[in-house]
Amino acid sequence: MQKKNILWIMTDQHRFDGLSCMGGLSGLTPHLDALAADGIVFENCYTPSPVCGPARTALKSGRFPAACGAVKNWVPSHSPDWLPERLQKVGYHTGMAGKLHICPCEENYGFDWKVLSDAPYSVYANDDKHSKYIEWLREKWNGKDPVPLFDKDESSYDNDFYHFCAGSGFRTVEEHETGWTTNQFFRYLEERDKQKPFFFFLSYFGPH
């Protein structure tokens, strides 16, 4: 039987009712609502950890965070076999774009094709140093560094919570990370090994 292509879409830190189909504002998420109507909606799911890195490590390993060493963000994680590695073994070509947030970020974790953008700021762990999105934005801005602008927004939590949540709007719609991440998936579809089924992890930094 021919293997199905697998597209895993993940967003970061939003409530369940951020989707219209789960009780949110009507008409807010029509495309995701359509996917839900044509698929299965799990209404009672619980994260293995309230912290980002450990939760993502558990999802990719199938193990509780502590079993992978991921007890907090930015600590090295380990697993005898990551989900993409398992899929590689049964013939899949694997790829990802966007936020992975598993440490160390230089590892491939079973991805044949990997374009990382864990975070655009440097205020916590220098995530920007490994961000292909930041590299793209610098090139688009003719060498101007956007990281100080992201850092300013992210550092405004204590003195301007609205600024922290909404940002300062220094990017155009075309420059936003959401569109960039989606475009990486389209690029992957062109560059992948088309003789194999694909598994792709499309992971958005927003709404964060």
76-105: per-residue pLDDT in tens? 999 999 999 999 999 999 999 999 999 999
Would you state the pLDDT for residue 39? 87
Which of 14, 31, 45, 52 is an active site residue? 52
Would you state the pLDDT for residue 57? 97
The answer to whether 52 touches 12, Cβ cutoff 8 Å, is: yes
Which of 31, 101, 163, 208 is an active site residue? 101
The arithmetic mean of pLDDT across residues 3-27, rounded, is 91
Is residue 194 scored above 80 in pLDDT?
yes
- At 208, is the pLDDT very low, low, confident or very high (cuts 50, 70, 90)? confident
Q: Whole-angstrom Cα distance, residue 184 to residue 97?
A: 6
Catalytic (active site) residue 21: no
Percent of the chain with pLDDT over 90: 85
Would you state the pLDDT for residue 118? 96
Q: Give the long-range contacts of residues 60-63, CB within 8 A, separation 24 or more.
A: 60/84, 60/102, 60/109
The arithmetic mean of pLDDT across residues 172-177, rounded, is 96
Is residue 195 scored above 90 in pLDDT?
yes
Would you state the pLDDT for residue 145? 97
Percent of the chain with pLDDT over 70: 100
Catalytic (active site) residue 52: yes
Would you state the pLDDT for residue 200? 98
Q: Whole-angstrom Cα distance, residue 91 to residue 180?
A: 28
Q: What is the 3-state secondary structure (H, E, C) of the chain?
A: CCCCCEEEEEEECCCHHHCHHHCCCCCCCHHHHHHHHCCCCCCCCCCCCCCHHHHHHHHHHCCCHHHHCCCCCCCECCCCCCHHHHHHHCCCEEEEEECCCCECCCCCCCCCEEEECCCCCCCCCCHHHHCHHHHHHHHHCCCCCCHHHHHHHHCCCCCCHHHHHHCCCCCCHHHCHHHHHHHHHHHHHHHCCCCCCEEEEEEEEEEC
Is residue 132 scored above 90 in pLDDT?
yes
Would you state the pLDDT for residue 166? 86
Q: Whole-angstrom Cα distance, residue 24 to residue 149?
A: 31
- By CB atoms closer than 10 A (0-12, 13-18, 19+), residue 92 is buried
Is residue 74 scored above 90 in pLDDT?
yes
- At residue 116, φ and ψ (nearest 5 deg) are -95, 140
